[in-house]
Structure 1
Amino acid sequence: MRAATRSSSDLRRPDTTPRPGLLGRVGGWGTDHRRLVFGLWLAAIVVLGAFAPSVFSSLAGAGWQANGSESVAVRELAQEHFGGNSSAAVQIVVHSNSSTVSESSMQAVFTQIGRELGSDPRFGEIVTPQAGRTISRDGHTGILIAGANASTDEMVTAVDDHKSPLTTLSRSGIEVYPTGASALWADFNKANHDAMITAELFSWPVTLAIMVLAFGSLVAAGLPLLLTIAGLVASAGGLVLLNHITPISVWAMNFAMMFALALGIDYALFIVSRFRDALTQRGDRRQAVVDTMDTAGKAVVLSGLTVLVSLSAVLLVPAPAVRTMAVGIMLAVVFVLLATLTLLPTVLGALGPRVNAVSLPYAKKQEHRSPVFHRWGSLLHEHPWPFAVVSLGILVLLALPVFGLKVAMPSISVVPEDAPVRQGYALVQQQFGPGAPGALQIISPAAEAQAAATTASSSPGIAMVTPPQPARDGSGYALMQAIPTVDPSNAQMGSILDTLRNRLPADALVGGAPAENLDLQTALDDYLPVIVGVILIMGFLLLLVAMQAPLIALMGTVVSLLSTGAAFGVAKLIFQDGHGASLLGFTPQGFLDGWGPVFFFPMIFAIAMDYTVFLLATAKEHYEKSGDPHTAQIDGMAHSGRVIFAAAAVMVAVFFSFALADPLPPKEMGIILGVAVLLDAVLIRLILLPVLLRLTGHAGWWSPAWLRRVLPSISFAHN
């Protein structure tokens, strides 16, 4: 019998190093094939970046409507059968203190306006000023109506294209102002875009300063900014391409710029911070990348999924502008997430120890495990109840005003005072009455038109009704305009519209710009509970999958509601009640803009869950290693506290920079999100949630055996 022999390889000790997970393998592969990764990203940025510069001029400017509503049906009927005299039609207001509409100087201006707009196929029938309808009583003001022969988005672009030639017709004491819903969105989108760019330019240097202080190295501080820029450029080009398939609101990029900047830096902070620690421990750059992606990478993926799920709930709202804003942010988050998971680890692998290059002499190069936050975690562990009561009390107190919150679609005051549409709006009100800029349109069968006109004339809140105008195409419809007695943004408009609709014959439909706003607000209010419910359920399920612990998943979801409620409570005090309005430089409307709760709630909740995932993932990693909830709570805080604090500082700086904007909606967005991040990071992630981990102990991390069998196995520990 031949003796068995063993080679030296058979005598080797078995490799006990755990096999890297999927993200770790992706990070290691990127480090090994960095030229390929850099090449693919460079190609993507070059190709998509070629479309990026046209993002603001290419995207849609309208879409603020409730699809399927009565008001949208009226607009479509008016556009099809009445020469485009719908809510999207453009009104050109011409006024002179010295001349009347009938004089040759004014008539010459109207002729030039008709020639300017008549050559553009996007405009429908041109209706010159009519006595008793669109000529003021003193004869010094006339309104030319240019019908809409294109979509609402194309009409906003058409106003942009012709606004300058029209306003230059103002001369020799004659004033020319384009106004109407299409002109309003054109001026408002421009003001909003300018404000966003100004705020971004202000936030970038502040962000870089915070990053330098957080990392103590210019190279480490610059990486998150460069990666975020790459993601934003790619997403901007992607939005332009997507706009060729379906109209995407220009607001999508406005929101995406702000949100993706804050979130991208947040993710990169977590990854870079963890890589520096792993590099110190391992000494090998490739293994450091693998360790980082197997731990912090998982937290980033789960955070990104939470953000995407939260924003996807907004897609339930049947409003194109609201839906595409969510799509824009989601697309930006996807690109930033891809850059964080592929390009960033590859760059880190290429840099290795040089990630700490250009260290500043006055900025201490910190360790990943913060002694300051270790002491803070220990203090919370020793005295949990006082901190829990104080933080919870502050959040509840700030959230109480939310029960008196009122919402409505924005008024003309959101447009700068020197905007042509606002000047024309004020002139129409002065000459024709407070409700004239917001005429309601009634379309009914021609046989019932006179009865509908009579009923509308006697309806409360209606100042006058124009005689029915039969459709010229023989469709059997008739159109009339009902002028309200109040400004379109007045709170009474809702009851005026409801009463009018209830009194009119069943076949009569009521629309117009005020009705479209009110119908949209109704849809937003109706869908808000559904959106909140979907987000809470999906947020809980994602946390449950990630943490494998029902109680912690429930706590993480519930506490995220506290910062959301407190942020909207502060918003009520500021934007509805006007506290601090003079300091912030705005005039309160008496309500919060209608899309605020539907849109800001998912954004706030997504950010709150972002911090929740970072804190709990770090705590779970240490619980898996030690099996001790005390160690998990304190070390979780020691290893994530600085990152959460720095990320929150960056987000607050980015969001609060929008408080400098002149238009009210960007100001609302910046302050609400900034307050939410500040409250969430300080009172919840750095106090309340760690205290709850302390109080629940092992019970917080417990999971029944049947649930562990059902859930996928996710571990954050990496030995």
Structure 2
Amino acid sequence: MAAAMGAWSARHRKTALFGWLLFVILSAFLGGLHGSTEVADSEAMPGQVSRAARILDEAGLTAPASETVLVQSATLTADAPTFRAAVEQVVAGVNGTGRATDVRSPYDTGAVSADRHSVLVQLDVKGERKEAVANVTAVLDAVAAVQEHHPDLTVAELGDASSGKWIDEQFSSDFTRAEWTAVPLALGILLIAFGALVAALLPVVLAVTAFVAAGGLVALSSGVLHTTDSAGSVMLLVGLAVGVDYCLFYLRREREERAAGRDSATALKIAAATSGRAVLVSGVTVVVAMAGMFLTGIAEFRAMAYATILVVITAVLGSLTVLPALLSMLGDRVERGRLPLLGRPRRRSTATTGGRFWNAVLTPVLRRPLAAALLACAVLLGLAAPLLTMRTANLTFRQQLPAGNALVAVSDKIEAAFPGSPAPASVVIKAADIDSPAMTAAIADLRARALAGGRTHGPVNVTVHPEQNVATVDIPLNGSGNDATSVAALKSLREELVPATVLRVPGTEAPVTGRTAGSHDFNAKMTGSMPLVLGFVVVFAFLLMLTTFRSLAVAATAVLLNLLSVGAAYGVLTLVFQHGVGASLLGTAGVGAVESWVPLFLFVILFGLSMDYHVFVVSRIKEGHDQGLSTRAAVAHGIRSTAGVVTSAAAIMVAVFAVFGTLSMQAMKQMGVGLAVAVLIDATLIRAVLLPAVMTLLDERNWYLPRRLRWLPDLSHGGSVPPTGPGPAVRGADPTAPDSGPTAPDSGPTGSEQARHRRIGV
């Protein structure tokens, strides 16, 4: 298929090129015209949180964006005239904006700290989330004006709308910075890899256009499958990495064949039949691995998976069609724009053997494969060891934001003055008659038990909506919001207090929602779905490798090596972000937990992306073996001849992922660092040490396929390309010696091999 697509594109260059441009422009235009439909609160979270959101939606009610204004003095108490004046100015100023409702004075609600040096003014910002985020600016300005008039007091605001405003602005800023940093980084690495401006620009241009087209398609289809802001970030992250890598694999093979003396048409056909096939298999692996995330049943994961699938399909399509068309048009002009020093033509032996560095690494591995395998496994298991202590959680607002952030400082002050979770649990009650005496008594009983129970505290706020027969009871939980104390308080509320009070009234629903409830339900859903997703991805990867290479050993090796690299990445993630080891180097600190969605997301992404290298490298090894090399010699030649392109591809992926490790949000940092570390490990310890060591130890057993499995479809290219390496005469050659590179073609294929060549036009 890859060969046929490349051949068609080379014959219909203008059609392929202008068809791609039209596709990108139309996708972007129509997507922008349609706009994005984002995941609603009722589908964003599972469990009781989702049910509570649906009850409010069906009743036409929206949970208000609540805000809190802290007024605090180190010397004055809440009864001092100056203190009271500042509080009254806050209430008047906020009311004067016309953007807030239900402004509550602490002297009415009793929200005064135990030492009476701090009070909380509580209010709701008008509008749903986006409107509230826009409206909160006026409220913040009013609070800032009071602070300016009372410099001896602390007057600061914190809440859903103000934190949402900061997050939205920071997310946009980070996303823009990532775009403007990742693209030049990728281009710089490609300039080093190719030494020519035109060759370096092609992969970047194709990757960026693939991302633009996929973004338009995601927006266009978001009415059916809703999207999220994080899905866009993931799409950029993965799209740029795989788009550049796919083009790099293809382009380097075409350049290598030209350097070996092939004519332009033959070089392009060989690249299509080999690297093109590796790109296709890799793309299919990423797509199906990402499809496993649909099994979680979580809307944000579905959005991430869908966006990633679209960008990968688009990148594969561009690599297999537009790139061959461009290479056919450019020919050797792709080497134009050579740069001083970097632009010197590579020696053929260096281009195909990896140079001195990779020879120095690979030679001892091939001479002592058992020792190399044991040492690599020991290092990987050591890196993975902290995984045993991993704790996952939906990180709180304070954990997500960088240390020293102004909002975090306000949160810390509120927490110190008013111990307990700053975000209350909310009991959403739907009854047949919310104003009935039985329900009124049950709600009062719930309030009294919550205040007396010891796991929750006041103030408990009750809001009744008689027309909709819905009420909400907001109950602050003890603890920080996602620690064991908060979880115990949530369980007590759900399993003891609510069933013993409001649920005793027939025909009543009372799901408990809030930040702690959301984190708990999300983690429970993740824990339940993770074995299913992991099993799906592992089984599919095994079957794909088995079908692609028709070998049990290759398929099993691929899965086991991937599991080792993922485990090592998990260990580093736990060590840095949970325990804080080296976190200061990334501008952060240990937060005691890993974001709950990150491990599963990393597993799925890495299992897909690691196939980039695995399929590319093992295809080259099998190609050499099919052309007559012994397994040991094929491993030596395959690893050496792909070392350069794997190094370049890994450097690009690590650079792009590392950019996300510099962003402000903790979850983005964890995702970026986890991916960067995993790819670095995969391209070095796995591909350069463990893979050649294991394949050398297995020797001819690498290609074993039981008789009962020989019915499997043959997706291997086998002898479908002209020989590019030494022939059978070198079966006894020392594979540990530096490879001198491909020799001139032998007398050529015969019999069935010739027929296979004719079928793909080589």
The TM-score, its normalising length taken from structure 2, stands at 0.83
Equivalence for 1:583: 585
**Map of 1:386 onto structure 2:** 371
Within the alignment, does 1:541 sit opposite 2:543 as a pair?
yes
> What's 1:161 paired with?
134
Q: Which runs of structure 2 are paired with 1:276-425 in the superposition (5 Å)?
A: 276-281=255-260, 283-363=262-342, 364-366=344-346, 367=348, 368-370=351-353, 372=355, 373=358, 377-413=362-398, 414-416=400-402, 422=408, 425=411
Q: 2:69 matched to which residue of 1?
A: 93
Deviations 1:453-505 (A, max 9, x none): 34333434211362654431162x54322111222133321122112212134
**Which residue of structure 2 aligns with residue 19 of structure 1?**
none
- Any conservation in 2 of the 1:134–1:143 contact (CA below 8 Å)? no
Asked whether the equivalents of residues 94 and 139 of structure 2 are also in contact (C-alpha less than 8 Å), the reply is no
The answer for the alignment partner of 1:694 in structure 2 is 696
For 2:520 and 2:24, how far apart are their aligned partners in 1?
42
Specify the alignment match of 1:464 in structure 2. Answer: 458
Summarize deviations over 1:591-612 as a string: whole Å, max 9, x none: 1111111211111222222211
1:48-197 matches, cutoff 5 A:
48-50=27-29, 58=36, 60=38, 67-78=45-56, 80-81=58-59, 83-84=61-62, 86=63, 89-91=65-67, 93=69, 95=71, 98=82, 100=84, 105-113=89-97, 115-116=98-99, 126-129=101-104, 133=109, 135-136=111-112, 141-146=120-125, 155=129, 157-174=130-147, 179-181=158-160, 183-197=162-176
Percentage of identical aligned residues: 25
Deviation string 1:601-629 (CA, Å, 9 cap, x unpaired) is: 11122222221111111111112221621
> Within 2, Cα distance between the matches of 1:588 and 1:264?
33
Q: Equivalents in 1 of 2:60, 2:208: separation in Å?
A: 48
Q: CA deviation at 1:716?
A: 4.7
- For the residues of structure 2 that align with 1:467 and 1:390, how far apart are their CA atoms? 61
Query: Of 663, 671, 674, which residue of structure 2 is paired with 1:672?
Result: 674
Between 477-486 and 30-39, report the one with greater CA deviation: 477-486
Counterpart of 1:552 in structure 2 is 554
Q: Find the residue that maps to 2:143 and give its secondary structure.
A: coil
Q: Judge conservation of contact 1:101–1:142 (CA < 8 Å) in 2.
A: no
What does residue 429 of structure 2 align with? 443
Shift of 1:511: 1.6
Shift, 1:95, TM fit: 4.7
CA contact (8 A) 2:646 2:683 kept: yes
Describe the shift of the 1:48–1:34 C-alpha distance in structure 2 as closer, same or farther (beyond 3 A). same
Output the amino acid matched with 1:390: L
Provide the TM-score with structure 1 as the length reference: 0.87
Using a 3 Å threshold, how does the CA distance of structure 1 residues 371 and 691 change in structure 2: closer, same or farther?
same
Q: Alpha-carbon deviations, 1:548-571, whole Å to 9, x = none?
A: 101110111111010100111011
Q: Distance in 1 between the 2:392 and 2:94 partners?
A: 39
Q: Determine if contact 2:46/2:298 at 8 Å carries over to the other structure.
A: no
How far the C-alpha of 1:633 sits from its partner, in A, is 0.8
Question: Cα–Cα, structure 1 residues 63 and 326, in superposed 2: closer, same or farther, change >3 Å?
Answer: farther
Residue 562 of structure 1 aligns with which residue? Answer: 564
In the TM superposition, 1:600-619 aligns within 5 A as 600-619=602-621
Contact 2:461 2:475 in 1 (8 A): no
| CA deviation after TM superposition for structure 1 residue 324, in Å | 0.6
Taking a change above 3 Å as real, the CA distance of residues 574 and 102 of structure 1, as seen in their structure-2 partners, is closer
Question: 1:706 aligns to what SS in structure 2?
Answer: helix
> Quick one: distance in 2 between partners of 1:378 and 1:198?
42
Supply the AA of the counterpart residue of 1:538.
F
Task: Give 1:234 shift.
Answer: 0.9
CA separation of 1:336 and 1:206: change in aligned 2, threshold 3 A = same
| Aligned residue in 2 for 1:482 | 475
Match for 2:480: what amino acid? D
Tell me how far 1:308 sits from its aligned partner.
1.1
Aligned AA (1:112)? G
TM superposition shift of 1:224: 0.9
Alpha-carbon displacement from aligned partner over 1:152-173 (angstroms, at most 9, x marks no partner):
xxx2x22332233332333442
Distance apart, 1:268 and its partner CA = 1.2
Residues 66, 523 of structure 1: 8 Å contact kept: no
In structure 2, the residue corresponding to 1:173 is in which secondary structure?
A: helix
- Find the aligned partners of 1:328 and 1:177 in 2 and give their Cα distance: 39
Shift of 1:147: 6.8
SS at match of 1:480: strand
Contact 1:456–1:465 (CA<8 Å) still a contact in 2?
A: no
SS of the equivalent of 2:104 reads coil
> After alignment, is 335-344 or 161-170 more displaced?
161-170
**Offset of 1:64 from its aligned partner?**
9.6
What's 1:492 paired with?
A: 485
Give the drift of 1:81.
Answer: 5.0
After alignment, is 296-305 or 323-332 more displaced? 323-332
Partner in structure 2 of residue 260 of structure 1:
239
C-alpha distance in 2, partners of 1:632/1:572?
Answer: 38
**1:609-655 superposed Cα distances (whole Å, 9 cap, x missing partner):** 22111111111111222162123211211221211111111111222
Per-residue deviation, residues 316-356 of structure 1 (Å, max 9, x unmatched): 12222222122212211111111111111111111111122
Between the aligned partners of 1:467 and 1:91, the Cα distance in structure 2 is 14
Helix, strand or coil at the partner of 1:230: helix
Three-state SS of the structure 1 residue aligned to 2:224 is coil
Shift, 1:296, TM fit: 0.8
Report the counterpart of residue 6 of structure 1 in structure 2. Answer: none
CA distance in 2, matches of 1:105, 1:181: 22
1:431–1:109 Cα change, 3 Å: farther
Asked if 1:23 corresponds to 2:2, the answer is: yes
1:193 and 1:254 in contact (8 A); partners too: no
CA displacement, residues 172-220 of structure 1 (integer Å, 9 cap, x when unaligned)? 4258877544654443243233223323423333322221221222221
Alpha-carbon separation, structure 1, partners of 2:172 and 2:446: 42
Change (3 A) 1:209 1:288: same
- The 1:233/1:371 distance shift into structure 2, 3 A limit, reads closer
User: What's the CA shift for 1:573?
Assistant: 1.0
The one-letter amino acid of 1:90's match is S
Q: Which residue is equivalent to 2:26?
A: 47
Answer yes or no: is the 8 Å Cα contact 2:578–2:590 preserved in 1: yes
Amino acid across the alignment from 1:552: V
CA distance in 2, matches of 1:103, 1:579: 43
Rounded Cα–Cα distance in structure 2 between residues aligned with 1:216 and 1:467: 67
**Residue 93 of structure 1 contacts residue 428 of structure 1 at CA under 8 Å; is this kept in 2?**
no
Q: In structure 2, how many angstroms separate the alpha carbons of the residues matched to 1:216 and 1:103?
A: 66
**Could you tell me whether the CA contact under 8 Å between 1:560 and 1:605 is conserved in 2?**
yes
Query: Does the CA-based 8 Å contact 1:81-1:471 persist in structure 2?
Result: no
Change in CA separation of 1:299 and 1:679 when aligned onto 2, cut-off 3 Å: same
Q: 1:502 to 1:698 in 2, by over 3 A?
A: same
